[in-house]
């Protein structure tokens, strides 16, 4: 759903907006298509609802290439995002920044008009290439550079967008000089990828460093020793015409408490313990006292 925004009325009208933006219209929270995003979107919704902001969730919509344009167009009002990945998307992979502060500064310059980035969390979730222990032992794999010379024997699995993203097949070739024997289009660190790696249908999986299943299975993350993957701090991105002081304060409070370790625990609760993202989100919100109005 898209509705006419009130931004043309200027600052005076903006000051009249209550915590329920758009004269009673719910704030629409979107997410991409992997469990961590579902957890984060539910956290945003729970905290905002606790502080009087009506929300609507549109979850599991697809990759950033699908979801971010919906934020720009006004179909969505906010997204949980990752600084480095979003910067790479907005610059077509041309950014050379890797440190968290440098990535954040560059992203602020690239963010489209009409969008605001709030305070980032210390929590980071980076893309990572993951292998089973026997694969690591067989090919003596510790780093991504170690794949050079052996990748041509291996099958890589991950989301379809790896074919075109810089943090994907193009970047693996450009930065590391590696080309895999075959690429299997699966999902973004989800059950298809996890199952394929577990069963040996793929040799290398594109996953995320906060996924609890990696430690639970004893799998190995290959170190990104040439810094292809930049800092990936979690950050809320919100449409300016949806922003209110309540939304800003609530989302910044979430970011202030969100750590990488807590992301790992929440992801494990979903992927390993089979709890619902909604229940895991609610538990974290309650634990951190963020539902207190």
Dump pLDDT digits (tens) for 251-276: 999 999 999 999 999 999 998 999 99
The more confidently predicted of residues 165 and 47 is 47
pLDDT of 21 > 80? The answer is no
Q: Is the pLDDT of residue 7 over 80?
A: no
Of 281, 245, 264, give the one whose Cα is nearest residue 59. 281
What pLDDT, on a 0 to 100 scale, did the predictor assign at position 94? 87
List pLDDT tens digits, range 209-256.
999 899 899 999 999 999 898 999 999 999 999 999 999 999 999 999
With a cut of 50, say whether residue 6 has pLDDT above it.
no
Q: Cα-atom radius of gyration of the chain, to the nearest Å? A: 20
The residue-averaged pLDDT of 126-148 equals: 97
List the beta bridge partners of residue 115. Answer: 239
Examine the pLDDT at 78 and tell me if it is beyond 70: yes
Report pLDDT for 293. 60
Is CATH 3.30.1950.10 the classification given to domain 127-221? no
* Pairwise CA distance, residues 53 & 40, whole Å: 17
Taking 90 as the threshold, does the pLDDT of residue 16 lie above it? no
Is 132:219 a contact under the CB 8 Å cutoff? yes
Distance between CA atoms of residues 79 and 30, nearest Å = 5
Length of the chain: 293
Q: Report yes or no: 272 and 35 within 8 Å, Cβ to Cβ.
A: no
Q: Which fold has domain 7-124+231-287?
A: D-Maltodextrin-Binding Protein; domain 2 (3.40.190)
Tell me the three-class secondary structure of the chain, residue by residue. CCCCCCHHHHHHHHHHCCCCCCCCCCEEEECCCCHHHHHHHHHHHHHHHHCCCCEEEECCCCCHHHHHHHHHHCCCCEEEEEHHHHHHHHCCCCCCCCCHHHHHHHHHHHCCCCEEECCCCCCECCEEEEECHHHHHHHCCCEHHHHCCCHHHCEEEECHHHHCCCCCHHHHHHHHCCCCCEEEECCCCCHHHHHHHHHCCCCEEEEECCCHHHHHHCCEECECCCCCCCCCEEEEEEEHHHCCHHHHHHHHHHHHHCCHHHHHHHHHHHHCCCCCHHHHHHHHHHHCCCCCC
Q: Structural domain boundaries of the chain?
A: 7-124+231-287, 127-221
CA–CA distance, 148 with 264 (Å, rounded to integer): 30
pLDDT for 23 equals 55
Whole-number pLDDT of residue 24: 73
Instruction: Give pLDDT, residue 22.
Output: 52
| Averaged pLDDT, 16-42 | 79
Residues 112-125 as b/e (b if ≥16 CB within 10 A, e otherwise) read eeebbbbebbebbb
pLDDT digits (tens, 9 = 90+) for 179-201: 999 999 999 898 999 999 999 99
> Cα separations (Å) of 49 from 7, 20, 27, 247, 269?
23, 10, 10, 10, 23
pLDDT tens profile 139-175: 999 999 999 999 999 999 999 999 998 889 999 999 9
Q: Is the pLDDT of residue 4 over 50?
A: no
């Amino acid at each position: 759903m898209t509705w006419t925004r009130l931004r043309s009325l200027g600052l005076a009208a903006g000051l009249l907006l209550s915590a329920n933006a758009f004269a009673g219209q719910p704030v629409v929270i979107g997410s991409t298509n992997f469990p961590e995003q579902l957890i984060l979107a539910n956290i945003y919704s729970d905290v905002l609802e606790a502080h009087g902001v009506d929300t609507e969730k549109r979850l599991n919509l697809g990759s950033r290439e699908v979801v971010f344009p919906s934020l720009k167009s006004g179909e969505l009002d906010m997204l949980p995002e990752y600084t480095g990945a979003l910067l790479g998307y907005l610059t077509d992979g041309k950014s050379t920044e890797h440190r968290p502060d440098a990535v954040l500064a560059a992203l602020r310059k690239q963010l489209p008009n009409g969008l605001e980035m709030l305070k980032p969390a210390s929590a980071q979730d980076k893309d990572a290439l993951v292998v089973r222990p026997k694969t690591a032992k067989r090919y003596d794999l510790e780093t991504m550079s170690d794949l050079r010379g052996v990748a041509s024997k291996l099958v890589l699995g991950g989301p379809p967008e790896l074919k075109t993203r810089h943090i994907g097949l193009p970047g693996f070739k450009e930065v590391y000089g590696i080309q895999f024997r075959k690429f299997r289009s699966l999902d973004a660190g989800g059950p298809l990828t996890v199952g394929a790696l577990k069963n040996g249908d793929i040799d290398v999986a594109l996953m995320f460093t906060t996924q609890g299943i990696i430690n639970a299975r004893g799998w190995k993350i290959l170190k990104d020793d040439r810094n292809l993957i930049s800092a990936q701090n979690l950050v809320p991105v919100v449409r300016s015409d949806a922003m209110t002081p309540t939304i800003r304060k609530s989302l910044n409070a979430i970011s202030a408490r969100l750590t990488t370790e807590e992301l790992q625990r929440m992801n494990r609760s979903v992927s390993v313990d089979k709890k619902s993202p909604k229940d895991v989100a609610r538990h974290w919100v309650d634990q951190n006292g963020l539902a207190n109005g």
